[in-house]
Each structure stands twice: as structure tokens, then as C-alpha cells.
């Protein structure tokens, strides 16, 4: 039998009696708190928190970097060669009147040279380069100045002068002229800088310019932006030249620095404002002209042979108040500057006895198919021969003037033509011979005559106020409608002083014939050609002759207000005829423009086409 030990019950200490709690004081039943799990979760959140914090720090850093990048000035600089766009050591950038241009000059033996195109287009168009004879010419009112390629000598009239440099050099097909030489005859100042790249600042317009001083070391930037590239540095007390801005900028000013950079500087670096006055030591020459103290009443007299000179007595007898006559006496007859002459001393003597001046006409029309204006005028030798021949004729026949009527000037001969007028004006001025030049009504196709220069060097500029519709016109129309004439005067007055302008009127009328095309002619035309059912042609008639034709065909006249002329049409032998008449009323309208615009006078083509009472009408406006 196994005896079981009696287990003693452990006596617990007696509990202290607990005070009775009210219902409110009794603790609620407690839920078990997962303390170990909470700590683990917190430990898991720490990396997340650190990651978020790092992201925030990175974002803050990026934002700060962005702000720094946005609001701190750029330190990037533009290379001088890039800014001035020069690619070789002898190339010279050109700053023209506070503007950096794409134009380039050339450094030769320490002197700055520009090519003749740049010279003509931007500095002084009165220079003339003769590429055929390698001569550079310049005209003053009384002298012709000549420089030969590569020589340090140049001549003024017949006097020789010497410079320390060659005024003109040639490289290949390009001629270059020294800026120092140009400056002798041009109102310009220039400064050459060679410290970083070759550059020159040229001033052509003079007066007062605004300046500003630098009050704190700063930088001039390419654009008005702190992020724009730096062009150059400026320091305290540097003087900057203030330039116009396309739009106002609150914080920036556009400036040119003394060393030729053009850019922007922040206003906070700028101090006192000021002004500088720029001047030139060059004095523009004064071109004296012969100016009549009466209103000129001129007419052209077409002379085709010596026998025609005898008709001057009859022609003048039909006029009234004529002050000047221009016989068509001289023709270009070869490409070397020689002239064919129909001049007649008795003719001149008779005109002088009647108080009429003789301005002999010189034309390029007679032999236009074989004689080329360009060949004569572009070579100095032939051009000078022409000038000397004309002056010799003027002196020989005691002419009062020359009237130049060159109607075949083109783009090739344009510069040579105006050089011819300049050189001829010198000789005319020295010999007291009036020089007048005939011009078409200004239009897009005939702007090569340089009317502005004519208005300076010549005594009179004549507008041939006719041929609005000429013999080869594609449509019938007026020879000289009043609107066409008025427009020609107004456009000429934009370039030439009124006291030098003579307006020419037509004494002729053009009768237009519209002949229906034959079936064969219509069949031969290209399919894409404009359909015109007639062949157009015309013939010129004097006033009386035109009146007879209209009378014979019972044509009625009707006043055309827009044209300022009578219009008539008729049909004869299946052809249509149209005419815009020149007669007393149309001529009076044109003559009245002389007083309206205070012009120097009137001329007419041609003597013999007018009715005698036309002169009474003209006299109302030239006295």
C-alpha cells in the first residue's frame, strides 16, 4: 500500500481588506495590450520615416538649387570671335553707328580697308571704282580726284599728293579702299580696336548722345537677362553709351561700351547720366548751280540733218515766250566717247539774237543697236573723252547749256551714268554751261538714274511727263493723263528741289489701232496665252494732224475727267481706233502744275506739233 503524503496547503498572507468602490470607481475590464507587437511596428516605421525625411531633404535641396540657379547670374562668357563673328586675323568686324553689323572690313598693313560695294552702299556713293582701268575716282564740285591701285599717290585735278598708305588695294576681283582715305572726303569718324579681335566703330551721324557712368563693377550681357552670356566687364567710372531699346525694360539698359560691345547692363550698377557731342571735321562741299531768275519755257527741236537747222527761224516764229530751245544735235557714235554733231553756229546766233538760250541735246538713241552706254561710261578714259568732247562743242558753238537725254541706262551702267553726270557737271560749272538731265517719270523700272544726286550736281532735272502709254504698250491709253503727270512731279520732288525741276509735256497724240486678228494668227497663238482678239499698234500725230483725222472719220470727242483729256474713237475698214487728245485744255491742266508746285519751268516735245495758241496758254503759267 502506497502511502500518500498529505499535501500541505500553502497559507497565503491575509489580504488587507479593500475599501468598497463605487460602481464608477470599479475598473473596466482590461483588454490585453500587445506591447511586443507595437514596438515591432514602430521599428518597422523608422526606415519609412527616414526615407520620407531624405526625400524631403532632397526636394528642399533641389528647390534651393533651383532658386540658386534661377536667381544667381550666369558666369558663362561669349567668346569675342563668336560675338564679333570674325574668322581670320585680317578680318575686321564693323560696328556702324552703335549697331554691330554683318559687314566686314579688311586689315592690310595696319590700315582698315572696306570693299567698294560697302563704300558705295554705306559710306559714300560719290566714289566711283573703275574696275576696267583700276582707278578709284571721287568728284567734288570743281575737281576730279584719282587714285591708282597700290600707289600711295593720288591726284587732285593735276596736282599729285602722297599718303603713308595706298588709298586703294586690290585682292583678286575685289577692290578695297582705306578708311582714312574715305574720311578725307566723307563726314565720318572711326575708331579701330585690336585688343581681342579686329573691329572698327564707324560714326556717320553726329550730334548729342546719352551716356551713363558705372558706379559699381559689373558685366554687360548679350541679352537683358542675368542668365544671358557675359560680353565684357565694366568697372567703376567707365562711361557707357545709352542706346534706344525696342521696348522699355525696368531693370536693364541697352548700352555700347567704349571697346565696342553692345549689350545690356542692370540699372542698379549705373550712376550719373550725361551727354556727349560727336562732331566731324569734314565740311560738305557746296555745289553751286546756274539758276535762271525766270520761269523756263523750253521746247525740243528735232534736228536730223544740217538742212533741218535752217527751219529754226520758222519754228521760233510760231512760238511765244520761248526762253530756251534744245536742238537734238549730239549723238554717241562709238564706244570710245566720240560724238557726232549737227551743231550750227548760225542757228545759235539767231536764237541769241531773239533772246533764246540754246541747250543742245545729247542722246544715246541714234545708234542704240551698236553703241552701248556701259562701254562708254564705265571706262574713265572713254567717259572723260565724252565729257571733254561735249564741253569743247559747247565752247566752240557758244552754247548756253547741254541737255543729256540718255534713255537706255540699265543696272550695269547706272553707277557709271551718274559718275558721268558728276564729271560733266564739273566742266559745265567751270565753263558756265547749264547742265540739264532728262528723266522718265519715276517708276519701279527706271529708278537707276539717281535723281537725288542729279538734283545736287546738275542745274536742272527734267521730267519727261509723257509716254504713259508708249508705242509698244500692251494696251491703248493716254500718253500723259493728268494723274500720271501729277504723280511724276510729286515723286520727283521727294528727291529734287522744286526750283530745279522742269516738267515736260507732249505736243503729240498717239492714235491707237486695234486690228482684228486673222484666223491664222489666232491659230498660231500658244494655248496658254491670254486671249486678245486684235493686234494693237499706234502712231504719233501733232495736234492739227489729229484734228483732221477725227474730222475725216466723223469721230466725236468726249471729255474724260480722270485723264484730263478729250477721248474719241471710231471704226474704219474693220479696225477700231482710239485716241486721248493733247490740245488746249489738256495742256493747260498740265501747265497749271508749274505754278501749283513752284517748278523751275516747262518743256515740250516737240516744236512743230503744237498749235500756235498753245503758247498763249503756257504763258499764263510761266510769267
Do domains 82-202 and 296-507+581-622 share one topology? The answer is no
pLDDT of residue 1: 40
pLDDT of residue 227: 95
pLDDT of residue 536: 98
| Look-up of cell digits 529734287 | 496
Beta bridge partners of 327: 301
**What 8-state DSSP symbol labels residue 225?**
S
Whether the CB-CB separation of 514 and 575 falls below 8 Å is answered with yes
Residues contacting residue 479 through CB under 8 Å, at least 6 positions apart: 466, 467, 468, 469, 470, 506, 508, 509, 510, 580, 582
SS3 label, residue 86: coil
pLDDT tens digits, one per residue of 278-306? 999 999 999 999 999 999 999 999 999 99
Beta bridge partners of 113: 106, 178
pLDDT of residue 20: 54
pLDDT tens digits, one per residue of 439-455? 999 998 788 999 999 99
Q: How is the chain split into domains, by residue range?
A: 82-202, 207-278, 296-507+581-622
Instruction: Indicate if the pLDDT at residue 480 is higher than 60.
Output: yes
**What 8-state DSSP symbol labels residue 257?**
-
Q: Compute the radius of gyration of the chain from its Cα atoms.
A: 45
In CATH terms, is domain 296-507+581-622 a member of 3.20.20.80? Answer: yes
Omega of the bond leading into 606 within 30 degrees of 0 (cis): yes
Sign of CA dihedral 302, 304, 305, 307: negative
Distance CA 467, CA 9 (A): 150
Average pLDDT estimate for 517-532: 91
Summary mean pLDDT of the chain? 93
Instruction: Indicate if the pLDDT at residue 547 is higher than 70.
Output: yes
E strands, 14-126, are 91-96, 100-108, 111-115
Band of the pLDDT at 53, cuts 50, 70, 90? confident
| Look-up of cell digits 564740285 | 141
Whether the CB-CB separation of 216 and 241 falls below 8 Å is answered with no
Of the chain, the end-to-end C-alpha distance in Å amounts to: 178
pLDDT of residue 39: 72
Instruction: Indicate if the pLDDT at residue 41 is higher than 80.
Output: no
Distance CA 430, CA 447 (A): 29
Band of the pLDDT at 11, cuts 50, 70, 90? low
pLDDT of residue 246: 81
In percent, how much of the chain has pLDDT > 90? 85
What phi, psi does 503 have (nearest 5°)? -100, 130
SS3 label, residue 65: helix
Whether the CB-CB separation of 251 and 222 falls below 8 Å is answered with no
Band of the pLDDT at 43, cuts 50, 70, 90? confident
pLDDT of residue 35: 55
| Look-up of cell digits 553726329 | 206
Sign of CA dihedral 178, 182, 184, 190: negative
Average pLDDT estimate for 92-119: 97
Average pLDDT estimate for 449-464: 98
Distance CA 616, CA 614 (A): 5
Q: Which of 60-64, 290-294, 513-517, 566-570 has the lowest mean pLDDT?
A: 60-64
Question: Sheet containing 159-162: which strands, arranged edge to edge?
Answer: 127-130, 135-139, 144-148, 153-156, 159-162
Band of the pLDDT at 340, cuts 50, 70, 90? very high
pLDDT of residue 37: 59
In CATH terms, is domain 82-202 a member of 3.30.457.10? Answer: yes
Cβ–Cβ contacts within 10 Å for residue 197, how many?
20
Instruction: Indicate if the pLDDT at residue 217 is higher than 70.
Output: yes
CA neighbours closer than 13 Å in the CB half-sphere of residue 173: 0
Instruction: Indicate if the pLDDT at residue 348 is higher than 60.
Output: yes
Whether the CB-CB separation of 321 and 622 falls below 8 Å is answered with yes
Write out the DSSP string of 131-171: TTTTEEEEE-SS-EEEEETT-SEEEETTEEEE-SS-SEEEE
Phi and psi based region of residue 556 (left: phi greater than 0; alpha: psi -120 to 50; beta: remaining): beta
Whether the CB-CB separation of 584 and 620 falls below 8 Å is answered with no
pLDDT of residue 52: 82
What phi, psi does 403 have (nearest 5°)? -120, 110
Instruction: Indicate if the pLDDT at residue 6 is higher than 50.
Output: no
Q: Which of 44-53, 120-129, 173-182, 562-571 has the lowest mean pLDDT?
A: 44-53
Band of the pLDDT at 3, cuts 50, 70, 90? very low
pLDDT of residue 5: 46
pLDDT of residue 446: 84
What phi, psi does 565 have (nearest 5°)? -150, 160
Average pLDDT estimate for 541-548: 98
Average pLDDT estimate for 136-161: 97
Band of the pLDDT at 492, cuts 50, 70, 90? very high
Q: Which CATH architecture does the domain made up of 207-278 adopt?
A: Roll (2.30)
Supply angle C-alpha 148, 154, 159, rounded to 5: 135
pLDDT tens digits, one per residue of 236-273? 999 999 999 888 888 999 999 999 999 999 999 999 99
Take residue 615 and report the three cell numbers written for it: 503758247
| Look-up of cell digits 502511502 | 3
Distance CA 443, CA 105 (A): 35
| Look-up of cell digits 537707276 | 448
Amino acid at each position: 500500500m502506497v502511502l500518500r503524503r498529505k499535501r500541505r496547503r500553502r497559507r497565503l498572507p491575509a489580504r488587507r481588506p479593500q475599501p468598497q468602490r463605487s460602481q464608477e470607481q470599479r475598473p473596466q475590464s482590461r483588454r490585453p495590450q500587445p506591447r511586443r507587437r507595437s514596438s515591432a511596428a514602430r521599428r518597422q516605421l523608422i526606415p519609412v520615416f527616414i526615407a520620407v525625411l531624405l526625400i524631403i531633404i532632397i526636394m528642399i535641396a533641389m528647390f534651393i538649387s533651383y532658386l540658386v540657379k534661377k536667381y544667381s547670374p550666369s558666369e558663362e562668357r561669349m567668346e569675342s570671335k563668336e560675338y564679333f563673328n570674325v574668322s581670320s586675323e585680317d578680318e575686321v568686324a564693323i560696328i556702324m553707328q552703335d549697331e554691330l553689323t554683318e559687314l566686314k572690313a579688311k586689315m592690310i598693313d595696319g590700315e582698315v580697308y572696306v570693299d567698294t560695294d560697302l563704300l558705295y552702299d554705306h559710306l559714300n556713293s560719290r566714289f566711283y571704282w573703275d574696275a576696267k582701268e583700276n582707278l578709284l575716282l571721287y568728284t567734288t564740285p570743281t575737281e576730279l580726284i584719282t587714285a591708282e591701285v597700290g600707289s600711295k599717290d593720288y591726284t587732285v585735278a593735276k596736282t599729285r599728293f602722297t599718303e603713308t598708305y595706298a588709298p586703294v588695294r586690290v585682292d583678286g576681283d575685289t577692290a578695297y579702299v582705306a578708311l582714312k582715305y574715305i574720311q578725307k572726303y566723307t563726314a565720318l569718324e572711326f575708331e579701330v580696336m585690336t585688343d581681342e579681335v579686329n573691329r572698327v566703330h564707324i560714326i556717320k551721324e553726329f550730334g548729342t548722345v546719352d551716356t551713363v557712368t558705372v558706379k559699381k563693377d559689373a558685366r554687360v550681357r548679350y541679352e537683358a537677362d542675368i542668365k544671358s552670356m557675359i560680353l565684357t566687364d565694366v568697372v567703376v567710372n567707365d562711361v557707357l553709351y545709352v542706346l534706344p531699346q525696342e521696348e522699355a525694360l525696368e531693370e536693364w539698359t541697352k548700352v555700347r561700351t567704349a571697346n565696342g560691345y553692345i549689350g545690356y547692363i542692370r540699372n542698379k550698377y549705373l550712376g550719373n547720366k550725361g551727354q556727349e557731342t560727336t562732331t566731324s571735321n569734314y565740311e560738305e562741299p557746296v555745289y553751286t548751280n546756274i539758276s535762271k531768275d525766270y520761269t523756263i519755257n523750253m521746247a525740243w527741236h528735232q534736228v536730223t540733218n544740217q538742212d533741218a537747222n535752217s527751219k529754226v527761224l520758222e519754228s521760233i516764229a510760231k512760238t511765244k515766250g520761248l526762253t530756251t530751245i534744245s536742238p537734238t544735235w549730239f549723238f554717241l557714235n562709238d564706244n570710245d566717247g566720240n560724238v557726232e554733231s549737227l551743231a550750227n553756229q548760225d542757228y545759235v546766233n539767231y536764237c541769241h539774237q531773239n533772246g533764246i538760250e540754246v541747250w543742245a541735246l545729247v542722246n544715246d538713241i541714234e545708234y542704240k543697236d551698236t553703241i552701248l552706254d556701259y562701254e562708254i561710261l564705265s571706262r574713265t578714259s572713254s567717259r572723260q573723252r565724252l565729257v571733254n568732247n561735249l564741253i569743247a562743242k559747247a565752247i566752240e558753238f557758244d552754247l548756253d547749256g547741254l541737255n543729256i537725254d540718255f534713255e537706255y541706262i540699265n543696272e550695269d551702267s547706272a553707277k557709271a551714268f551718274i559718275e558721268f553726270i558728276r564729271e560733266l557737271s564739273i566742266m559745265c560749272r567751270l565753263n558756265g554751261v547749264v547742265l540739264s538731265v532728262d528723266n522718265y517719270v519715276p517708276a519701279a523700272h527706271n529708278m537707276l538714274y539717281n535723281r537725288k544726286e542729279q538734283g545736287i550736281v546738275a542745274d536742272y532735272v527734267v521730267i519727261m511727263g509723257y509716254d504713259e502709254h508708249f508705242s509698244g504698250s500692251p494696251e491703248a491709253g493716254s500718253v500723259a493723263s493728268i494723274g500720271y503727270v501729277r504723280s511724276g512731279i510729286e515723286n520727283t520732288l521727294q528727291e529734287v528741289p522744286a526750283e530745279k525741276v522742269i516738267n515736260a509735256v507732249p505736243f503729240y497724240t498717239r492714235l491707237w489701232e486695234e486690228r482684228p486678228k486673222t484666223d491664222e494668227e489666232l491659230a498660231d497663238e500658244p494655248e496658254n496665252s491670254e486671249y486678245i482678239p486684235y493686234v494693237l499698234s499706234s502712231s504719233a500725230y501733232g495736234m492739227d494732224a489729229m484734228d483732221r483725222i477725227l474730222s475725216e472719220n466723223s469721230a466725236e470727242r468726249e471729255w474724260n475727267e480722270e485723264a484730263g483729256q478729250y477721248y474719241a474713237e471710231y471704226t474704219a475698214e474693220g479696225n477700231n481706233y482710239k485716241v486721248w487728245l493733247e490740245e488746249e485744255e489738256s495742256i493747260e491742266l498740265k501747265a497749271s502744275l508749274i505754278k501749283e508746285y513752284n517748278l523751275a519751268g516747262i518743256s515740250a516735245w516737240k516744236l512743230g506739233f503744237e498749235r500756235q495758241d498753245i503758247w498763249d496758254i503756257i504763258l499764263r503759267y510761266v510769267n
